[in-house]
């Protein structure tokens, strides 16, 4: 932000800026905490990796679904594209793996825009159904196109990432992945509060007003569908790099269902709600599942409970509590 605009509105923007700084640094500390927690423990690494992948998937869906209200269920395909891009680049070419992340993101974005264009007149149930069918068809394609995808076996022995001439070991790679999640979450949350994000949120409730202001709503939707698919695809690419294998069963359709619930549980009011939701899902369905196979059920019931009694999610209520506290302390009005 330029010095001029700070001066223009020193009062309110000064506060917003410090809150933003606190948010960015606070989440960075948390991310570093998770990296330290995962450490060298293989099981914890798995949990961290899965959580990071889920978080990227949920962050990818956050812009089109939570902000713009367009529920596309094709995201399992985009995550898989990211994974297969890594598999193909690693086994068929000598290119560095970051090229695969880029290719996967571009391919997913293009596919999402094409699918979004084909379904541009649909919303709600019909959009959900058609995009779900796309996911089904893509799963069949992965099994069927054996020359490309390796069929049911998938692609194995994927080489690890090399950076600056050295191989990145699993521990460091997972640390990198978690940092990527942090960067993407910070970026997505900033987009939410940016003019673009305001247009996006307005397009859900009052699309006619967004059109009348000069922003083409169909183009706006396609833009975020593409961006969201690219983010989800990066998640798939990172997951595949860490596990060194990808198959048609790696990313299933039910994953998308989990991804819908993550921001609901965590809180839709902020992109960090999606991340918190991803952490909770991993904790409930994998970590707790080992002791008691009811983790997924607990998760399902928690989602229903949130839908019924706490529509703002966990972060929404935490934020409300914090605002109330701040109001008591400073006796000034709250700021979003």
Partner 1 sequence: MSAQLWVSVVQIGCFFGLVALGYYLVLEGADFFNFALGPFAMFSGLTASWLMAQQGWPLGFAAVLGIAIAAVLAVVTEVALVRPIDARTGGGELPSLIAVVAVLFAVEQLAGTLFGRQLMPGRSWLPDTTLDLGFVTVDGQTLVLVACTLVSFTGVWVWMRKSKYGRILRAVGSNREAARTLGMPVGRVRLVAFALAGLVVGLAGQLFSAKAGVSFQSGFGWALSGFLALVIGGTGSVWAPLAGGLLLALAQTLVPYYLGSASLDYAVLAVAILFFALRPSGLFVRRVRV
Partner 2 sequence: MTETTHDGPYLLEGTGLGKSYGGVHAVDDVSLRLSAGEVLGLIGPNGAGKTTLVDLLDGAQPADRGTLTIRGRRLGGPPSRRARAGLARTFQHPHLAHDLTVRENILLGAAAPKLAGVGGLIAGLVAGAFRPAGARFEGTLRRVAEALELGDLSRRCGDLTLGEQRLVEVARALAQEPSVLLLDEPFAGADSIGIGAISAAVRTVRAQGCGIILVDHNVDIVASLVDRVMLLRTGTVVFDGDPAECLASAEMQDVYFGTGGESVAP
Interface with partner 1 (CB under 8 A):
69, 71, 118-119, 121-126, 128-130, 132-134, 136-137, 139-141, 143-144, 253-254, 257, 260-261, 264, 293-294, 296-297, 299-301, 303-304, 307-308, 311
By CB under 8 A, what part of segment 215-274 binds partner 2?
A: 215-217, 219-220, 223-224, 227
Q: How far apart are the first and last CA of the chain?
A: 19
Among partner 1, partner 2, none, residue 257 binds (CB under 5-8 Å by kind): partner 1
Minimum CB distance to partner 2, residue 156 (Å) = 35
Is residue 301 within 8 A of residue 293, CB to CB? The reply is no
Q: Among 220, 183, 219, 226, which Cα is nearest to 60's? A: 226
Task: Identify which of residues 139 and 202 has a Cβ nearer to partner 2 in the complex.
Answer: 202
Minimum CB distance to partner 2, residue 272 (Å) = 15
**In the structure encoding, which two tokens stand for residue 194, read together?**
């940016």
Among partner 2, partner 1, none, residue 132 binds (CB under 5-8 Å by kind): partner 1
How far apart are alpha carbons 66 and 200 in whole angstroms?
Answer: 10
Give the total of residues touching partner 2 (CB under 8 A): 45
Binding flag, residue 10, partner 2 (CB under 8 A) = no
Minimum CB distance to partner 1, residue 140 (Å) = 4
How far apart are alpha carbons 238 and 105 in whole angstroms?
Answer: 12
Minimum CB distance to partner 1, residue 257 (Å) = 6
At a CB cut-off of 8 Å and minimum separation 6, what does 142 contact?
A: 80, 84, 149, 151, 248
Binding flag, residue 335, partner 2 (CB under 8 A) = yes
By CB under 8 A, what part of segment 171-210 binds partner 2?
A: 187-188, 190-191, 193-199, 201-202, 204-206, 208-210
Among partner 1, partner 2, none, residue 128 binds (CB under 5-8 Å by kind): partner 1
Query: b vs e for 85-105, b when ≥16 Cβ sit within 10 Å of the residue's Cβ?
Result: bbbbbbeeeeeebeebbbbbb
Q: Among 142, 161, 158, which Cα is nearest to 150's? A: 142
Task: Identify which of residues 134 and 239 has a Cβ nearer to partner 1 in the complex.
Answer: 134
How far apart are alpha carbons 19 and 267 in whole angstroms?
Answer: 19
Number of residues in the chain: 336
Among partner 2, partner 1, none, residue 52 binds (CB under 5-8 Å by kind): none
**In the structure encoding, which two tokens stand for residue 89, read together?**
């680049």
Task: Identify which of residues 18 and 91 has a Cβ nearer to partner 2 in the complex.
Answer: 18
At a CB cut-off of 8 Å and minimum separation 6, what does 41 contact?
A: none
Task: Identify which of residues 53 and 221 has a Cβ nearer to partner 2 in the complex.
Answer: 221
| Burial group, residue 142, by CB count within 10 angstroms (0-12, 13-18, 19+) | buried
Is residue 235 within 8 A of residue 183, CB to CB? The reply is no
Task: Identify which of residues 32 and 113 has a Cβ nearer to partner 2 in the complex.
Answer: 113
Binding flag, residue 289, partner 2 (CB under 8 A) = no
DSSP state of 270: S
Interacting span for partner 2 (CB under 8 A) from 7-15, 39-47, 133-141, 253-261: 7-15
List contacts with partner 2 (CB under 8 A).
1-2, 5-6, 8-9, 13, 16-17, 20, 187-188, 190-191, 193-199, 201-202, 204-206, 208-217, 219-220, 223-224, 227, 333-336
């Amino acid at each position: 932000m330029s010095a001029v605009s700070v001066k223009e509105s020193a009062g309110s923007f000064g506060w917003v800026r410090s809150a933003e700084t606190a948010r960015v640094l606070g989440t960075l500390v948390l991310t570093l905490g998770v990296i330290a927690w995962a450490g060298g423990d293989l099981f914890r690494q798995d949990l961290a990796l899965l959580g990071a992948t889920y978080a990227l998937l949920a962050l990818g869906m956050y812009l089109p679904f939570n902000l713009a209200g367009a529920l596309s269920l094709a995201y399992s395909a985009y995550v898989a594209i990211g994974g297969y891009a890594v598999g193909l680049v690693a086994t068929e070419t000598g290119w560095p793996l970051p090229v695969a992340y880029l290719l996967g993101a571009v391919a997913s974005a293009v596919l999402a825009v094409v699918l979004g264009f084909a379904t541009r007149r649909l919303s709600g149930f019909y959009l959900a159904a058609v995009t779900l069918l796309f996911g089904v068809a893509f799963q069949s394609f992965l099994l069927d196109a054996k020359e490309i995808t390796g069929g049911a076996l998938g692609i194995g022995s994927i080489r690890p990432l090399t950076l600056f001439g050295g191989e990145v070991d699993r521990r460091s790679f997972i640390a990198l992945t978690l940092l990527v999640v942090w960067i993407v979450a910070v970026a997505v949350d900033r987009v939410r509060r940016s003019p673009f994000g305001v247009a996006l949120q307005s397009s859900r409730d009052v699309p006619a007003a967004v059109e009348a202001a000069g922003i083409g709503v169909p183009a706006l939707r396609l833009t975020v569908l593409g961006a969201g698919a690219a983010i989800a695809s990066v998640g798939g690419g990172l997951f595949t790099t860490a596990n060194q294998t990808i198959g048609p069963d790696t990313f299933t359709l039910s994953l998308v269902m989990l991804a819908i619930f993550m921001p609901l549980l965590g809180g839709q009011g902020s992109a960090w709600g999606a991340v918190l939701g991803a952490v909770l899902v991993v904790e409930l369905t994998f970590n707790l599942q080992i002791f008691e196979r009811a983790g997924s059920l607990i998760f399902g019931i928690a989602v229903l409970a949130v839908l019924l009694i706490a529509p703002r999610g966990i972060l929404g209520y935490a934020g409300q509590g914090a605002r109330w506290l701040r109001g008591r302390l400073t006796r000034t009005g709250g700021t979003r």
